[in-house]
Amino acid sequence: MGKLMMELGYFILAVLLLSAPLCALISSRAFSGQLEWSLTLGTIDSVVTCLDPALAFDYFGWEIIRNLGSGLVSYSLGTTGDLELMPALATSWSISPDGLIWTFNLREGVAYDDGTEFNASHVKYTFDRGMGIAAQMVHSWASDTLT
């Protein structure tokens, strides 16, 4: 046990000795206002330039879309680790007992950047458009697969 403790002590001493110059460099630059940081992000994912929520399927596109607009609901990680739906453009919602009818109460006083007030017709248009695009994609996929 004594040898293990001595080796552990040497290890800790080595870490402290090696990290001291780095800490000194960081602190001296931080106090002189010369500290610069950069972040380089690499990926093997393709970066698609489409920012249409109905057509964008890549991570980077969705990160941009998510920061440019809002959906009816958002999500938050719950205390149990499950995703919990949170109000966004919808203040509340209800679901019929058979699960086929969803009713959303929309937030009032929300406007687009051109001043147009957000309303149910915008939600319907977006939903119908997305469903139409999805149906075309499924039809195209099925046609390609079955031939």
Q: Which secondary structure element, helix H or strand E, spans residue 99, and what is its range?
A: none
Task: Answer whether 44's CB lies under 8 Å from 36's CB.
Answer: no
Report pLDDT for 18.
53
Q: Which residue ranges make up each domain of the chain?
A: 59-146
Report pLDDT for 17.
47
For the ranges 11-15, 36-40, 119-123, the lowest mean pLDDT is seen at 11-15
| 101-129 confidence digits (pLDDT tens) | 999 999 999 999 899 999 999 999 999 99
Give the HSE-up count for residue 15: Cα atoms under 13 Å, Cβ half-sphere.
6
Task: Answer whether 84's CB lies under 8 Å from 75's CB.
Answer: yes
| 39-90 confidence digits (pLDDT tens) | 776 666 666 667 888 888 777 777 788 888 888 998 887 666 677 888 999 9
Topology of domain 59-146 in CATH is Dipeptide-binding Protein; domain 1 (3.90.76)
